Amino acid sequence: MEKLIITAAISGAEVTKEMNPAVPYTIEEFVREAGLAYEAGASIIHLHVRYDEGTPTQDKERFRVVMEAIKAKYPDVIIQPSTGGAVGMTDDERLQPTELSPEMATLDCGTLNFGGDDVFMNTENTIKYFGEKMIERGIKPELEVFDKSMIDMALRLGKKGYIKSPMHFDLVMGVNGGISGELRDFVFLRGSLPADATYTVAGVGRYEFSLAAAAIIDGGHVRVGLEDNVYISKGVLAKSNGELVEKVVRLAKEFGREIATPAETRKILGLTK
C-alpha cells in the first residue's frame, strides 16, 4: 500500500479566531501553523490567505508573501493554494494564486448551495477555464468534489481534454449542501473514481477522523486542519493544525500505513516541479 499523504488545510476562508484562536491571520501565524503541520507529518499545505485582521482574500501578492514566508522555513513542503475564493468573485480573481506557478491548486468541479442565499458557483465553463489555465501553467489540479455529480463532471471534462489524467480528487464530505460524511457515502464516492486516480478525503466537522480512518484503511490519503474542523475531540478545541495532523499520524500507525514525505508525495502524485 502506498505511503499516506497528509494534507493540512490550515485556515480556510470561513473559520475565525472566535471559533478557535489558533486560526492563522497574519503571515507569522501562517508560517507557525504550516510549520506545526509539516513537522507533524503533513507534506501538503492547502492554503487560503487572510489579511492581518482576518479578511479572506485571493490577492496574488498576499499569496506570494505567505507562500514565500512558508517556503523560506520549510522549502520542501508542497503548497496547494485554493482557487475557491469567495461567493461573488470572478473566475480571474479566484485564479490569481495560480499565476505564482504552484505545484498544485484546487479545482472545484461543481456548484454548491452553502446555506441561506449563498451559492458557490462553478459552472461548466468555469471548470473548463480553470482546467485550461492549470494545464497552461503546469499545475496539478486537486479536483474538489462535494457530491457524486462532480466526479462525473470531472471525468467528462477529462475526456474532452480540460483535465489531465491521472486525476487526483479531494472528496470533501459533510459540508452543508453536499454529500454527508457517512461511511456509506464514502464507499459510493470511492467506487466512482477511475482506477488510475488518487484521492484524499476531507471530512468536515465530526466526520474528520472517522473518514480519515476509512481512507487510511482503503489506501487513500487524508486532509485535516482547522479549515475543516476546529476540534481535536468532542468539545475540545485543537491547539493547532499540528495537533490534528498528529492524530492522523497515530491512526496511520495503528493501521500500518507509513507517512509520505514531500518527496514521496511528489512521486505518488506525479508532480514535476
58 within a domain of the structure (yes/no): yes
Each residue of 55-86: pLDDT tens digit? 999 999 999 999 999 999 999 999 999 999 87
What is the value of pTM for the model shown? 0.97
Query: At residue 94, does pLDDT exceed 90?
Result: yes
Q: Please give the sequence-ordered ranges of beta strands (E in DSSP) within 39-96, or none if there are none.
A: 44-47, 49-50, 56-57, 78-81
Quick check: is 1 in a domain?
no
Q: What is the mean pLDDT of residues 210-236?
A: 98
141 domain-assigned: yes
Tell me the average pLDDT of the chain. 96
Q: Is residue 162 part of a domain?
A: yes
Does 39 fall in a domain?
A: yes
Which cell is 183 given? 461511511
212: nearest Cα among 177, 236, 246: 246
Give the pLDDT score at 77.
Answer: 98
- Is residue 38 one of the residues assigned to a domain? yes
Q: Label residues 23-51 b or e (16+ Cβ within 10 Å = b).
A: bbbebebbbbbbbbbbebbbbbbbbbbbe
Residue 119's pLDDT is 87
186 and 151 in contact (C-beta within 8 Å)? no
What is the domain-level CATH number for residue 106? 3.20.20.70
CA distances from 94 to 61, 84, 124, 179 (A): 13, 6, 16, 24
Residue 87 has pLDDT above 80, yes or no: no
As for how many domains the chain has, the answer is 1
Q: Dihedral through CA 218, CA 127, CA 80, CA 29, nearest 10?
A: -110
Is 273's pLDDT higher than 70?
Answer: no
- The mean per-residue pLDDT over the stretch 130-147 comes to 98
Cell 492547502 -> residue: 46
Mean of pLDDT values over 200-223? 98
> 167 in a domain, yes or no?
yes
Angle in degrees, CA 94, 114, 150, rounded to 5: 70
Which domain, by its residues, includes 94? 6-269
**Residue 195 belongs to a domain:** yes
